[in-house]
Amino acid sequence: MVAWQGIRLVLIGVGLGAMAATGLARTIDSLLYETSAADPLTYIVVSAAVIFVGSLACVAPAVRAVRLDAMAVLRQ
């Protein structure tokens, strides 16, 4: 449940970022070298990379927390 909450934020951020990048395509186009601002492959690869890293950042602590004994943690 905790991991899903973090992953949901990652997905929302990727969605908003993709919309902002699409909206600012003309400005971004002047900053890119030998690629267009509307290149779908670039959007897909970057979005997938951000989702992968964000998911890993959310799932790793959740898995570590599941391995702990709740009663031992509460006693401390």
Domain ranges of the chain: 2-75
Whether this prediction's pTM lies above 0.85 is answered by: no
The answer to whether residue 40 scores a pLDDT higher than 80 is: yes
- CB contact set of 7 (below 8 Å; sequence gap of 6+): 54, 55, 58, 59
- pLDDT tens, position by position, 3-31: 888 899 999 999 999 999 888 887 877 77
- C-alpha to C-alpha distance for 43 and 38, rounded to whole angstroms: 8
Write down the pLDDT at residue 63: 87
Write down the pLDDT at residue 14: 95
Q: Residue 1 in contact with residue 63, Cβ under 8 Å?
A: no
Distance of CA 29 to the CA centre of its chain: 23
Write down the pLDDT at residue 15: 94
